[in-house]
Amino acid sequence: MSSRDGAVAVLLAAEPGRMPRADARRNIERLVEAARAAVAEIGVEVTAHEIARRAGVGIGTFYRRVSSREALLEAVLDEVLAEMTDLAANAAADPDPWRAFETFAAAYVRLRAESCGIREAVGGACGPNLDPVLGEIQEGLRALVERAQKAGMMRADVVWQDVPFLLAAVATGPRTLRLRAGEEQWGRNLRIVLDGLRAPRSQGLPGTPPA
């Protein structure tokens, strides 16, 4: 597990110089749980009133327990993204480099597919405060990609910066060209992308890699 503090701990630490009462802690825990679900379903534009409603507290309690909607969402998103750094570290312990990359890629794409807020956060919608944890995910993914390439298991004409764009493209909307996505369409898309990344490949890629 990551040594990073979770969202509840971060918000409790912001309490001004005193230990919060048990009911205050419970309210923070409810707000974190509600915010996490609301961000996944609605995205980062979810309102404080909607989070408070889901948590079963009034808007006054919301602002007594957290300094702002933005502070709550930042703590929740940081917590969820930190879980991805843990997944990358756990995957890296797998002795099989390709299986390690594949395991992380599947977990990363699933989270993107199931959470509107995470898709927005990794796309830069939440400003620079999440840059440190996004940088950790970058480094974890880079290490997995380069290890698989060094082992000859991933095509060498791909740079690691290509991979986040490929994984981002896997999650799809429910409809396109009058077609409806199948169950776990993202899983089908991911398999095609993973097969395309496996070595050996005889054809090179056009254009220049992402910067």
**Residue 135: CATH number of its domain:** 1.10.357.10
Do 185 and 97 belong together in one domain? yes
Do 25 and 59 belong together in one domain? yes
Do 98 and 170 belong together in one domain? yes
Residue 101 contacts residue 146 (beta carbons within 8 Å): no
Element (H, E) at 78: helix 69-92
**% of the chain with per-residue pLDDT over 70:** 87
Tell me what pLDDT residue 211 has: 56
Do 32 and 82 belong together in one domain? no
| pLDDT tens string 135-184 | 999 999 999 999 999 999 999 999 999 999 999 988 777 888 888 887 77
More reliable by pLDDT, 106 or 201? 106
Do 63 and 34 belong together in one domain? yes
pTM over 0.75: yes
Tell me what pLDDT residue 178 has: 84
With bands split at pLDDT 50, 70 and 90, how would you rate the model's confidence at 1? very low
State the total domains in the chain. 2
Cβ neighbour number for residue 13 with a 10 Å cutoff: 9
Residue at 209 is within a domain = no
Quick check: 202 pLDDT over 80? no
CATH number at residue 66: 1.10.10
Do 12 and 110 belong together in one domain? no
Do 65 and 122 belong together in one domain? no
Do 25 and 48 belong together in one domain? yes
| pLDDT tens string 78-121 | 888 888 899 999 999 999 999 999 999 999 998 888 888 888 88
* Paired residues of 179 in beta bridges: 176
Q: What domain range includes position 44?
A: 7-71
Do 31 and 84 belong together in one domain? no
